[in-house]
Structure 1
Amino acid sequence: MAEKVNQQAYPSAPTHKQPSRDEESATLQSDQELRKKKRIKLGIYIAAFIVFQVIVITAFSLTVMRVKTPKVRLGTVTLQDVKTGNQTSPLFDISFTTQVRIKNNNFGPYKYESTNAMFTYQGVTVGQVSIPKGKAGFRSTKTVTVTVSVNSNALPMSTTSSTLGSELGAGVLTLNSHAKLSGKVELMFVMKKKKAAKMNCTMPIHLSTKVVQLNCD
């Protein structure tokens, strides 16, 4: 009887069941799938980062690092002294003030050498003005005020007697202006690229009203 009581008071320790091969295989497979999902997720993150970098670099190249040709234009022309002849005695001697504007749309300065702006009538130079070397800053416009004198002294007799006489009779004298700036655009203080800025303007001068209708390409 005492033996039975002792057996009930001190039960035997439970035995641990060893996992079966199927359970081990399932656990291993689950770990492999988890690692595979982590690798896929990491690959997606890396691919997204690369795509983002490519977009940033492309946008940077197309905006900041893209070198544009600066533009040269004349500003408002103000007549100061106007002397003209007529159809019988065609001539002109005119002085005016204007601004040479160098517009730089680049993300870096444009440094240019000195040059001359030429003023012509029917392809013949009738006046010129010097543009000193200078710099148009980061996305800005450099303005140079100049005083110009033009006259018909250099025109051949055939031009003055026909075309010039007709224009003076009509009251509109048309001049043209040309200039070419040679310089370099500097980007990021490292990259330098040569750029030539050209000016081509037409200047119809209305003699009766002393108004200049300026058109620049």
Structure 2
Amino acid sequence: MSKGEGKRNNKKCLAYVAAFVVFQTAIILVFALTVMKVRSPKVRFNAMAVESFSSDNNNNSTSINMRLLAQVTIKNTNFGHFKYQNSTLSILYNGVQVGEMVVPRGRASARKTKKFNISVDVSSEGLSGNDINSGVLRLSSRGKVSGKVHLMKVIKRNKSGEMKCDWSINLGTRQVEDLKCN
């Protein structure tokens, strides 16, 4: 073996080591930017139905009492599970709270959607007669589910998912219509 061949082998070896280091750095960078990025969960109403409904018309005001059954979903897009605390979601009519539901604490597995049903009583007094006469009652909901995302049992980040949904109840058919969540 000549002196020139040894230098060429050393250069080849150095080139392989440098290529390996660049490759490993790219893999670590991709891993850190995708898997290790912690996102907020998405909280939504998936479906909703009116279980019971009653109304009372008195002079210029109307009171409505109803029970809604709502399917709430918590979508966890992280690579670690999301543990959340007890939370409340409010049902609003023209910005005034008419009902409240409690989301019990729980856990949404990694890259999964947790679904559960919740009943809520909606009671409203003093609605204007125009809302009832129109045959459509417009409601909305607001809420926040807070907890921690656990990545690989080492990294824990506080995150919260907010819900904002709007829908209408057709008073003639007692059906929920136009359910839209942001």
> What is the TM-score when the length of structure 2 is the normalising length?
0.91
Q: Give the Cα–Cα distance (whole angstroms) in 1 for the partners of residues 115 and 135 of structure 2.
A: 31
Q: Which residue matches 1:71?
A: 42
1:166, CA displacement in angstroms?
Answer: 2.4
Structure with the bigger percentage of helix: 1
CA contact (8 A) 1:98 1:145 kept: yes
1:128, CA displacement in angstroms?
Answer: 0.5
Q: Give the Cα–Cα distance (whole angstroms) in 2 for the partners of residues 50 and 80 of structure 1.
A: 62
Q: Which residue matches 1:23?
A: none
CA contact (8 A) 1:182 1:195 kept: yes
Q: Which residue matches 1:97?
A: 69
Output the amino acid matched with 2:132.
Answer: L
1:120, CA displacement in angstroms?
Answer: 0.8
Structure with larger Rg: 1
Task: Tell which has more relative contact order, 1 or 2 (C-alpha 8 A, sep 6+).
Answer: 2
1:191 to 131, 148, 155: 155
Question: Alpha-carbon deviations, 1:156-177, whole Å to 9, x = none?
Answer: x5xx33xxx3222221111111
CA contact (8 A) 1:97 1:147 kept: yes
Map 1:27-106; keep pairs closer than 5 Å: 31-84=2-55, 88-106=60-78
Q: Which residue matches 1:21?
A: none
1:123 to 80, 95, 100: 95
Gaps of 5+ in 1: 1-29
1:85, CA displacement in angstroms?
Answer: 5.1
Structure with the bigger percentage of strand: 2
> What is the TM-score when the length of structure 1 is the normalising length?
0.77
How large is the Cα RMSD of the aligned pairs? 1.8
Q: Give the Cα–Cα distance (whole angstroms) in 2 for the partners of residues 166 and 32 of structure 1.
A: 98
CA contact (8 A) 1:85 1:168 kept: no
CA contact (8 A) 1:131 1:144 kept: no
How many positions carry a matched residue from both structures?
Answer: 180
Gaps of 5+ in 2: none
1:101, CA displacement in angstroms?
Answer: 1.1
Question: Alpha-carbon deviations, 1:93-135, whole Å to 9, x = none?
Answer: 1111111211111111100110111111111110101111111
Q: Secondary structure at the match of 1:125?
A: strand
1:210, CA displacement in angstroms?
Answer: 2.4
Q: Which residue matches 2:142?
A: 178
State percent identity of aligned pairs: 39
1:186, CA displacement in angstroms?
Answer: 0.2
2:107 to 135, 138, 142: 135
Output the amino acid matched with 2:133.
Answer: G
